[in-house]
A and B are shown apart, each in its own frame.
Chain A
């Protein structure tokens, strides 16, 4: 009975260990695409981190197997034998040699890990900015992202466009990270580790995506009520697409006579206090720049798709999409709302 119980215990423990190892391997080698797996890097810093992480995983994995085996062995081998339960086992108080051994071996492991760590920190953090780099200032707001391209003269929000970087002719992106209010953190798992945006404490980070596509992430540092819906969306464009996008962003806001009524609503309500549209009186900076709103796939920092219906809902009742966001409900009449949304629809 006791033997049976012990073998059950042992099997259960082995099962747990096995499941754990399985899950680690599954996560590390997951072939599923589309997931923002930190072990599927698509840029140099993320690759450096991922390679280093796998090295750390291997070392800790070996330690795990060794200590786990020792543990399982000792609890299964040294259980009480009911036949001589009355005799106490030999009383051993310690052994200097053995204790030296299990002090020195961990020290050696730590030395190896420290060297690898320092090397990776230096490689990622102290990288020089090449003259071909794209410079962007990212400003965290409650609960959206503002992006400024100072050299290109572009201000946009929430969806970051950066060029792909060919290892032969690198065009990495260097981000300067600022915060307008509370702490935030910029995290695109496949492109780089996270770096916080802290008020009065400018930070920087860089990434050089090796392929085009959309990369997702989100604010990682708790920043207030809607921390959860402060999503990040990075569009890595080919050089041609990036040039097209830059050109489009340079265009002044569309002035369409058909939606003059919508523009009037926009300019005569509180919208202009927070939002900017180039070429109008709207130059607010508390909310996202709307000059090229329609060039973005999402609104409300990724909380909803950029469709006329969602825009309607967002303007009239933001809490339905993102409760606690700082966008107020505008309480417009239906006709005003319709014309405002038609105006928004023209801001390509």
Chain B
């Protein structure tokens, strides 16, 4: 196989006017550029969603604080939740998949480049629709200017009677539009992986990143569909006089919960599976060993995907299902713990006997392992329905899912940034700034989210804009807020690192980590066509085979 990218012809290229550069980016169908657009777009919204989180935490620092009004607070947490899930987590993971999957399977682009661009712009405009509500949501005197229905948008809060004006319309439209974008990208990822692999890249030889993206794509197809259906039903309710969720006219609030959570729970796995993928690429490289139990890792992922489709109602243990339904969903939810546990053990197995290099990317992955362990265990507590009757809807749940999303997904994402930034930009991220970022974030994270579990045990419900003093929540909330600020500083360091290293970073070269998957065989950044000649692979670690011709992987597989 060829590992050389064609050198860029040594012609002096005239600097092009910025309008043409902009035009190139807007009209691009190159999977790498679309991937970068996805990631930048998500980073922008990460900062917005982060500022909303900081506002929320300032408000909750003290009991009876009046930093923001209850109306504003309710809009803040609605925007924070919706933004972080739909306009940060989803696009950033799609961005990584978009950029990496074609290169990792030795392809020159996605299967449908124009669909790819279309999907990105749908998602992008979805996010703008949500924030346009700040300008256009009023509609009526006294109606709010941004949705205040929480990111679940439980009926009947979204019904006309309780949500006058247009704020809920913007919410539902933005989720609907970006959902269509997600479906497009999912179809694209699946088609690419199934039909664009280079010679020799059998399904059993794909990097785990490709496998897990395939599973993620399948889950998006299955779960975004009911969500989109529910949004359309809600629009029918609001505009065509339907009564699906309009309880004042006999509709069912309960129905919306099922629709939402049959999307909402698998969604967590849609987000965490790409994070597992990052882990499964980064941990082996920095442990200098192949992933432990590749077939089991693939099997466990597929198992998680299937089981996670049948656990949604564990979000509904308090809504009054009968004891059989509660028991069923408790059983299925706990079963997810088994394949997830296998994954954690296999990552430990990968590190075991290896030579671990504590690069920043690996530090974040190790952070992931510890935090995901705790998040999984609090997940078991929540899956145990009777325990959940106390924990559900309290700050314990808020702490739990932030542990998953921040302590798990975001840590893996940070790891992925440090790991693949050299490939995307040709420059290394600063390790010193990275260590500051890591340690500050770890300290802030634990101050914030470890502490956040306990007000929940003391009866503090979520989504309250203020609370009474003397219930034991005061000090804890102050610590949580301080932790949030520390994380905010850490993220600023990270953003600074991204910007500074782009110009000042050490030049990376093709393969700075001595890694084994195909993306490291091409130049950094890769040329538009990725590979001068399409590579041919004989094992799961083509570059290992190349670097160790005396002991290639292909001999054992």
Interface set of A (CB-CB < 8 Å, partner B): 5-6, 9, 12-13, 16-17, 19-20, 23, 27, 32, 34-39, 48-49, 52-53, 56-57, 59-60, 63-64, 67-68, 70-71, 74-75, 78-81, 85, 88-95, 98-99, 102-103, 106-107, 110, 113-114, 116-118, 120-122, 124-126, 177, 181-183, 185, 187, 189, 192-196, 198-201, 203-204, 216-229, 231, 323-324
Contact = CB atoms under 8 A, between A and B. Distances in A.
Smallest CB-CB A-B distances: 5 pairs: A193-B389, A228-B464, A203-B320, A94-B293, A199-B247
Interface in B153-194: 154, 156-157, 161-162
A78 B348 contact: no
A53 B381 contact: yes
B384 A52 contact: yes
Contacts of B330: 114, 117-118, 121
Contacts of A5: 358
A315 B135 CA distance: 34
Contact of B387 (A12, A49, A218): A49
B342 A16 contact: no
Interface stretch (B22-30, B217-225, B250-258): B250-258
27 contacts: A37-B457, A37-B458, A38-B391, A38-B457, A53-B381, A56-B381, A70-B348, A78-B353, A79-B356, A85-B355, A88-B548, A89-B354, A90-B289, A99-B293, A114-B331, A118-B331, A121-B386, A122-B327, A181-B162, A189-B458, A193-B318, A195-B320, A196-B319, A196-B320, A201-B253, A323-B71, A324-B71
B292 interface: yes
Contacts of A78: 287, 351-356
Interface of B: 69-71, 74, 148, 150, 154, 156-157, 161-162, 247-248, 250-254, 287-290, 292-296, 318-320, 322-323, 326-327, 330-331, 334-335, 337-338, 341-342, 344-346, 348-349, 351-358, 366, 369-370, 373-374, 377-378, 380-381, 384-394, 442, 446, 450-451, 453-454, 457-459, 461-468, 470-472, 548, 551, 553, 556
A188 to B, nearest CB: 8
B338 A23 contact: no
A120 B394 contact: no
A125 B326 contact: yes
A189 B355 contact: no
B363 to A, nearest CB: 8
B381 A110 contact: no
A75 B366 contact: yes
Contacts of A121: 323, 326-327, 330, 385-386
Contacts, number: 302
Contacts of A93: 290, 292-294, 556
Given A56-B384, A93-B293, 16 more contacts: A20-B446, A35-B459, A53-B387, A75-B356, A93-B290, A94-B293, A121-B385, A177-B320, A182-B154, A182-B156, A198-B320, A201-B319, A220-B318, A220-B394, A228-B465, A228-B466
Contacts of B366: 71, 75
A194 B390 contact: yes
Nearest to A26: B454
Contacts of A199: 156, 247-248, 253
Contacts of A231: 468
Contact of B451 (A23, A183, A204): A23
A92 B156 contact: no
Given A20-B450, A98-B349, A226-B70, A36 B464 contact: no
Given A121-B323, A201-B254, A189 B390 contact: yes
A186 B370 CA distance: 35
